[in-house]
A and B are shown apart, each in its own frame.
Chain A
Amino acid sequence: MSTVKNEREPLFSAKNIRLMTTPLNKENPITKQVLGICSALAVTVKVEPAIVMAISVMAVMAIGNLVISLLRNSIPNRIRIIVQLVVIAALVILVDQVLKAYSYDVSKQLSVFVGLIITNCIIMGRFEAFAMGNKPWPSFLDGLGNAAGYGWILIAVAVARELFGSGTIMGMTIIPEGFYKFGYVNNGLMILPPMALIVVAVIIWIQRARNKDMVEEN
C-alpha cells in the first residue's frame, strides 16, 4: 500500500532554517502576530529580568513544542487544550524551580510572571498552529525561532526603558554623571507600563517602514 515517502530531509534544510528566521522579523510574535504583549509590558523595566524571561520562554516553548509534536497523534482532539496546558505547566514549574535555585534575586523580580508563562499566548498559539500538525524537529525549531523573536523584542524594549528610565543597562550606569549636572533627569514615564506599549509601537513602526509588504490593509 504505502508508496515511497519523500527521502529524509536534511536537519537544517532551507525550509527548517526559515522556520527559525521568519519569526525574528516578518512573522514576529509580538510585532506581527501581536501575541505575548502582557509580559512585554510587565518584565521590560530592566534588562536583566527581560533576558531571563526570554530564556525561560525559549526553554518552555522549544521543549513544549517538541513534546506536543511527539504526542500529536495520540491527543484526542476534544481535550487537546487541557493536554497542552498540562505540558506547559509542567515545564514552567521546572523553569521556576531552576530559577529559584540558581538565580533567586531575578526569580523574585520576575515573581508571578514566570508562572504566567503558562498563559503566554505565544506558547499556546504555536502549539495549536504548528506543533499539532508538524513533525517534532521542525516543531522544535519553530519553538526556538518564535521564542527568539519574542525575546529580542523583549530585550530591545527593556534596553530602551532601562536606559531612559533609570540611566543604566544591566544595572551599570550608562548616562554619564555630567549629563545630570546639566539638568538631565531620568524619564519616570519609561518605568510605567504605558511606555512599553509605545516602545513596542515604535519598533512596529520602524519594522513596517522598512518592509512595506508587512503593512496591513484595512
Chain B
Amino acid sequence: MKPIRNILDSIKPHVQKGGKFHAFHSFYDSIETLFFVPDHVTTKGSHIRDGVDMKRTMFMVVLAMVPALLFGMWNVGNLHFQANGVTDFTLMEAFWYGFLKVLPIIIVSYAVGLGIEIAFAQGRGHEVNEGFFVSGMLIPLVLPVTTPLWMVALAVAFAVIFGKEVFGGTGMNIVNPALLARAFLFFAYPAYLSGDTVWIAESADAISGATPLAVLTAGQHLDLSLMGMLVGNYAGSIGESSTIAILIGAAFLLYTGVASWKVMFSFFIGGLTMGLLLNGLSAQFPENAYLALPAYQHLLIGGFAFGGVFMITDPVSATQTETGKWIYGFLAGFIAIIVRVLNPAYPEGVMLAILFMNVFAPLIDHYVIEANIKRRLKRAAVAK
C-alpha cells in the first residue's frame, strides 16, 4: 500500500485546484478512493460516517458474481471443446480458453462504461462514483460469448447514457442499466443474441448449441437432468447457466445484507406460482412442451436464477417500501414465466419482466404509501 500512497501523493498537487491537470481531478479521486478509505471528515453537527459506502457495497456485489463468472469461463471452454469433438481436455485448459474469450468483453464493458461515466461526471462537476462497477460486470455475464465487441461497446454506451446519465446518473436510473444493455442488443441485433448458433465460441458444427429454453420453445423434450440444471454445463449466456454458482453469490449477498431477501424470495415464489398454474393447463394443450415442465425446473434454467439474484435486487430500480418489495418481486417472477411460456417469440422472459416491473416500481410504492396513510387515518378516526 505504501508505494501506491506515495505515487498518489506525488500526483495530488497537480490535480488539485490550480494544478496543471485539474481537469482530471474526478478521475484521480476515483482511483484514490479505490485504494484508500476517503479521509473526508465531518465538521459540523453529529453525523455518522459508515465505512460501508457505495464503493464497498458495489464491490460486494461484484464479489458475489465471481463464482458465476468463473464457472461461466470454464463453461465457455468446456462447450467449445465438446462442440469440436475434443474429449481429453483438462479443467484448466477449458478455463483458460474461456478466460481469453470472456476477458475482452469485460474489458470493453468497463472501458466504455467508465469512460462515459467519467466524461459525464467531469462535465457536471461531480465526483466520479462507482455506479458502473456492478453494471460493467453484469453486462458481460448476460451476453452470449460470441457477441462482437463493438456491439458490447454500443450497448454499454446506450445503457449508460439513456438508462442512467440522462436521468441524473447513479441512483437516479429508472430501469436496470445492465438489463437495458441486453434488451438493446436483443432487439437491435436479434441474430446475435438468440438462436442456437451464438452460445458456443468457435464451434465446428453450429447445431449443438441450443439452450434449454430454445429446445422447449421448439416443443421438444428437454433432455437435461436435475443435476445438470443445477450445475449448468449447458449452452447459455456466460454467467446465467450455473444455478449453484449463482446461489453461492446469493448467499453472499444475503449474508452481507446488500440484497433484499424479500425481493429475491418473492421473485422465486412468483415464478413458482405461475409455473404451477401453467402446469394445470398442460393437459389441455399437450403441444406446448413448456406447460408440462415442472414448476421448480423453471427456476433452474435460463436466466431466471441470475435475474432473481443479481438483476431484480438492484436497490435503485426496485421498490423502496417493504410491502412493495413483496409485490414487485412476485409480479416480476410471475410475468417472467408468462412471457417465457406463452410467447414463442421471446424464449426468455426474465429480462423483459424485470424491465417492465422496474417501470412500475414507483407506482407500487405510491399505492403502498397511500394505503398506509389511509389505514392510519382510519385508526385516528376510531380513536377520536
Q: Which of A169-218 contact B (CB under 8 A)?
A: 183-185, 187-190, 192, 198, 201, 205
Contact A188/B189 with A198-B162, A205-B166 known, Cβ cut-off 8 Å: yes
Residue interface bits B174-192, CB-to-A below 8 A is 1, else 0: 0000000000100111111
Which residues on the A side are within 8 Å of B151 (C-beta)? 185
CB nearest to B186 among chain A residues: A189
Question: Is A192 in contact with B162, judged by CB distance below 8 angstroms?
Answer: no
Which residues on the A side are within 8 Å of B189 (C-beta)? 185, 187-188
Partner of B192, one of A185, A190, A198, A205: A185
User: Chain A interface secondary structure, helix, strand, loop or mixed?
Assistant: helix
A180 to chain B, nearest CB (A): 12
Which residues on the A side are within 8 Å of B45 (C-beta)? none
B154 to chain A, nearest CB (A): 8
Question: With the chains together, A201 CA to B188 CA distance in Å?
Answer: 18
Question: With the chains together, A187 CA to B91 CA distance in Å?
Answer: 38
Question: Is A183 in contact with B162, judged by CB distance below 8 angstroms?
Answer: no
Question: Is A192 in contact with B187, judged by CB distance below 8 angstroms?
Answer: yes
Partner of A188, one of B148, B150, B187: B187
Which residues on the A side are within 8 Å of B150 (C-beta)? 183-184
Which residues on the B side are within 8 Å of A201 (C-beta)? 162, 166
Question: Is B148 in contact with A189, judged by CB distance below 8 angstroms?
Answer: no
Question: With the chains together, A184 CA to B190 CA distance in Å?
Answer: 14
A167 to chain B, nearest CB (A): 13
Which residues on the A side are within 8 Å of B162 (C-beta)? 198, 201
B111 to chain A, nearest CB (A): 19
Question: With the chains together, A19 CA to B166 CA distance in Å?
Answer: 32
Question: Is A187 in contact with B166, judged by CB distance below 8 angstroms?
Answer: no
Question: Is B166 in contact with A190, judged by CB distance below 8 angstroms?
Answer: no
Which residues on the A side are within 8 Å of B184 (C-beta)? 189
A160 to chain B, nearest CB (A): 14
Question: With the chains together, A183 CA to B154 CA distance in Å?
Answer: 14
Contact A189/B166 with A183-B148, A183-B150 known, Cβ cut-off 8 Å: no
Question: Is B188 in contact with A187, judged by CB distance below 8 angstroms?
Answer: yes
Q: Which of B133-167 contact A (CB under 8 A)?
A: 148, 150-151, 162, 166
Question: Is B148 in contact with A190, judged by CB distance below 8 angstroms?
Answer: no
Q: Which of B166, B187, B189 gathers the greatest number of chain A CB atoms within 10 Å? A: B187
Q: Which of B169-226 contact A (CB under 8 A)?
A: 184, 187-192
Question: With the chains together, A196 CA to B148 CA distance in Å?
Answer: 25
CB nearest to B150 among chain A residues: A183
Which residues on the B side are within 8 Å of A190 (C-beta)? 188
Which residues on the B side are within 8 Å of A189 (C-beta)? 184, 187-188
A102 to chain B, nearest CB (A): 36
Residue interface bits A8-20, CB-to-B below 8 A is 1, else 0: 0000000000000
B173 to chain A, nearest CB (A): 15
Question: With the chains together, A69 CA to B192 CA distance in Å?
Answer: 56
Question: Is B166 in contact with A188, judged by CB distance below 8 angstroms?
Answer: no
Question: With the chains together, A189 CA to B188 CA distance in Å?
Answer: 4
Question: With the chains together, A192 CA to B187 CA distance in Å?
Answer: 9
CB nearest to B189 among chain A residues: A185
B9 to chain A, nearest CB (A): 38
Partner of B190, one of A183, A188, A198: A188
CB nearest to A198 among chain B residues: B162
Question: With the chains together, A201 CA to B158 CA distance in Å?
Answer: 13
Question: With the chains together, A34 CA to B370 CA distance in Å?
Answer: 31
Question: With the chains together, A188 CA to B166 CA distance in Å?
Answer: 23
Which residues on the A side are within 8 Å of B187 (C-beta)? 188-189, 192
Which residues on the B side are within 8 Å of A205 (C-beta)? 166
**Chain A residues proximal to chain B, CB less than 8 Å:** 183-185, 187-190, 192, 198, 201, 205
* Other A-B pairs, 16, CB within 8 Å; known A189-B188, A190-B188, A205-B166: A183-B148, A184-B150, A185-B151, A185-B189, A185-B191, A185-B192, A187-B188, A187-B189, A188-B187, A188-B189, A188-B190, A189-B184, A189-B187, A198-B162, A201-B162, A201-B166
Which 7 A-B pairs have CB atoms at the shortest separation, nearest pair first? Answer: A189-B188, A189-B187, A187-B188, A188-B188, A183-B148, A185-B189, A188-B190
List 22 A-B pairs, Cβ < 8 Å: A183-B148, A183-B150, A184-B150, A185-B151, A185-B189, A185-B191, A185-B192, A187-B188, A187-B189, A188-B187, A188-B188, A188-B189, A188-B190, A189-B184, A189-B187, A189-B188, A190-B188, A192-B187, A198-B162, A201-B162, A201-B166, A205-B166
